Amino acid sequence: MNNEHDLELILNSQVPLIVVETHDEPPMLELLKRVSLSRNAADYQPVFRWTITDGLQRMELALQDDTEELDPEQVLRHIRRTQQTGIYVLLDFHPYLKDPVNIRLLKDICIDFPQAKRHVVLLSHQLELPPELEAFGARFHIALPNERQRNEIIREVASEWREAKGKTVSADPRALELLVTNLAGLTESDTRRLARNAIFNDGAITRSDLEGVMAAKYELLNRGGVLGFEYETHRFSDVAGLSRLKAWLEQRKPAFLGEAQAAGLDVPRGVLLIGVQGCGKSLTAKATAGVYGVPLLRLDFGTLYNKYHGESERNLRESLKTAEVMAPCVLWIDEIEKGLSTGHDSTGTTRRVLGTFLTWLAEKNSPVFVVATANDISALPPELVRKGRFDELFFVDLPDSDVRMAIFEVHLRFRGHDPAAFDLARLEAAADGFSGAEIEQGIVSALYAAHAKREPLSTAHILRELERTQPLSVVMAETVHALRSWADGRTVPGH
Ligand SMILES: Nc1ncnc2c1ncn2[C@@H]1O[C@H](COP(=O)(O)OP(=O)(O)OP(=O)(O)O)[C@@H](O)[C@H]1O
Ligand SMILES: [Mg+2]
């Protein structure tokens, strides 16, 4: 990036009105100062800043008593009247652009530009130029710090700490490298702030800082969006069975993390997990982020439609962009068929949202790994399961006897019980047709029952609870059967 050079080009191109949209004012004001002071005498333009609270002040030089308290209209009249060349930065002027008098005054200033070179810079967090002024304006975007500059910022923060504490910052080289990568996509001030958070707590840059950095980064990026940051992730050891799915995911980890570029492997795009309720789809999505060691973001289509009625597509695009800035990350879309089912859509919104999503999925090349889950195939748009959309479609079926045994083990251990103390063979046989969630529920209920009787948890307690349960595979036998025959030939078994 070269902000100085780009700004210089705009100033020299004789555009009278410059629009800058940013939440980060100070670096932009600094940039304007620097560019002004670096110009030679013939091109020199003083810089003035105006705010509704402070009025108009000279900015690049500290002159005293040069403040003029002017309201929005007066400041424009002042600029129009003066013949002095200059750069006039109007901060937060956007509310006053609704006034026809102000629009006309700005237009007069622009029309007079060839006679009197007065640049007006409109600096706001968000600014729509009225159509009357569009022909006179150009937008300037402050480039975000690149890798070298982020490295530089971290070094500056580290030396700040050294000066304050009289000790050097210790940095794990790999953690430093990841910190530089993970701070991508933020403004200079935000980059500095997060680097400060990471360093000032303990004077060290370690892997343990990264989680906090990513959570804070998400807060900065997702102002009012539909992405959720999931703090809870899992490991593959928490997921019983699904060994093919887990091996497939493991195999793609190096390519996803950019460690296999030399081998010419494509960056994996993602998987769709289809299957019976309560058999570990959502759990695997969470475990993928844990195993890849990256943040887990959850995209919620329900909120997308409810909260942003009429603006769903734009908000989806923005959320997907946020996910790309957070990359590498896992983007989890739970029950995707609920958000993208086009069955009852009279307005075409869902169809457009689906189109936006599929285009993004096909074209993306940043490491955002999508894990989508679905359990209702009747609502699943056929476009989504067509070959080449996702890297693979996995079917997550009810657990077989080995997997049921493993599920008992995981959940007994999870609650502080030694699985060896239980008759796992009897338990898994009694749980034939049960989902993982139902097995877990059986253990939980048995714990309550045992506690009520002041007895230690035993095989018998669990067996009693299992007997009382009608598993979903029985209650919804037809649905499960339909799901299986649909999956046959279309999907790969996850177990
Ligand atoms: N294979 C498994 N290994 C360990 N625990 C499991 C497994 N399957 C299910 N469970 C337990 O059941 C809970 C519910 O499973 P999960 O939410 O992943 O199901 P799902 O497939 O996403 O179901 P749904 O289609 O209803 O969303 C999990 O949090 C976990 O505790
Ligand atoms: Mg689920």
The DSSP string of 165-204 is HSSPPEE-HHHHHHHHHHTTT--HHHHHHHHHHHHHTTSE
- Model-level pTM? 0.80
Q: What is the residue with the minimal CA distance to atom 25 of ligand 1?
A: 277
- CA 232 – ligand 1 centroid, Å: 15
Residue 64 has pLDDT above 70, yes or no: no
Residue whose CB lies within 8 A of the most ligand 1 atoms, among 234, 283, 475, for a mutation test: 283
pLDDT band at 63 (very low <50, low <70, confident <90, very high): low
Direct distance between the N- and C-terminal alpha carbons of the chain, in angstroms, rounded to an integer: 48
How far, in Å, CA of 347 to CA of 219, rounded? 33
- CA 492 – ligand 1 centroid, Å: 19
More confident residue, 306 or 187: 187
What would be the CATH architecture of the domain defined by 401-475? Answer: Orthogonal Bundle (1.10)
Q: Per residue in 127-186, pLDDT tens?
A: 999 999 999 999 998 888 999 999 999 999 999 999 999 999 999 998 999 899 889 888
Token duo for residue 153 = 């910022």
Q: What pLDDT score was predicted for residue 346?
A: 66
How many angstroms separate the Cα of 301 from the Cα of each of 194, 209, 331, 336?
Answer: 30, 31, 13, 8
Q: What pLDDT score was predicted for residue 67?
A: 74
Q: Do domains 3-139 and 248-395 have the same CATH topology?
A: yes
- Arithmetic mean of pLDDT over the chain: 92
Q: What pLDDT score was predicted for residue 307?
A: 76
pLDDT, average across residues 257-276: 87
CA 419 to chain CA centroid, Å, is 39
Question: Looking at domain 3-139, what is its CATH homologous superfamily?
Answer: P-loop containing nucleotide triphosphate hydrolases (3.40.50.300)
- CA 155 – ligand 2 centroid, Å: 43
Domain regions of the chain by residue span = 3-139, 147-221, 248-395, 401-475
Q: Per residue in 280-318, pLDDT tens?
A: 999 999 999 999 988 899 998 888 887 777 788 888 988
**248-395 CATH:** 3.40.50.300
Token duo for residue 255 = 């390519």
Residue whose CB lies within 8 A of the most ligand 1 atoms, among 244, 274, 282, for a mutation test: 282
CA 3 to chain CA centroid, Å, is 26
pLDDT, average across residues 37-53: 91
pLDDT, average across residues 273-285: 96
Q: What pLDDT score was predicted for residue 225?
A: 73
Q: Per residue in 326-380, pLDDT tens?
A: 888 999 999 999 888 877 766 788 889 999 999 999 999 889 999 999 999 989 9
Q: What pLDDT score was predicted for residue 320?
A: 92
